[in-house]
Amino acid sequence: MHPDIQAALDTVFASDTELYQDRGFQRRIGWGKKPALINIDLANAWTREGNAFTCEGMDTILPATQEVLAAFRARGLPIVFTTTAYDIVEGEHTDMGLWGKKIPAEVLRVGSEAVEIDSRLERRDDELLIVKKQASAFRGTNLNSYLNACGVDTIVVTGTTASACVRATVEDAIADGFRPIVVRECIGDRIAGAVQWNLYDIDAKFGDVEPLQAVLDHLRLNEA
């Protein structure tokens, strides 16, 4: 990101932090007893170059996510991947809904390489894959019931995009009674400032945005 944009955001955040804290925002929700890892839309359409949905920063996001995955796998905790894909992308009865009128969702075809989870993350057979139609991983899926059945009370979130699917998932998570922990280095988006602004706002109102090392330290210190 251009230094001028970062400097402008830093100025805004400094001012807004004072306002938020004076009004009682930016509290910490903290970890519960059992976390699950939710990897949002780390599929090829978002992680590889040359796609309409391609996000910036994968040289940082994917290695950081690999570290979080390794920590969850080492503890045998639940891991979920999501992708967004559609069965019907033509005609008036498409399952893209009205969202397809706003974004190029027609390239996200079920069964296409674009919607496959990036192979660099090495998703395993015992890691749930949710194919969603909306931004939130909770909306219209079995994620809530799956997490409840697993005894999960906290979700650790990675993926894309900060301004849409990550944010919508975090908002629904806290509404449904799950503690959201968002890993800063593991979140991507397409346009300058989108990650920084949305993570700042999420941290103020919907979940705890934490650095990668803090998340890894918590997982290691709380091994069963």
* Tokens coding 174: 């806290």
CB atoms within 10 A of CB 197: 16
Q: Classify strands 79-84 and 35-40 as parallel, antiparallel or unpaired.
A: parallel
Catalytic residue chosen out of the listed positions 55, 150, 165, 186: 165
55 given a catalytic annotation: no
Q: How far apart are CA 126 and CA 110, in angstroms?
A: 21
Amino acid at 206: F
Q: How far apart are CA 151 and CA 35, in angstroms?
A: 9
Indicate which residues carry an active-site annotation.
Answer: 165
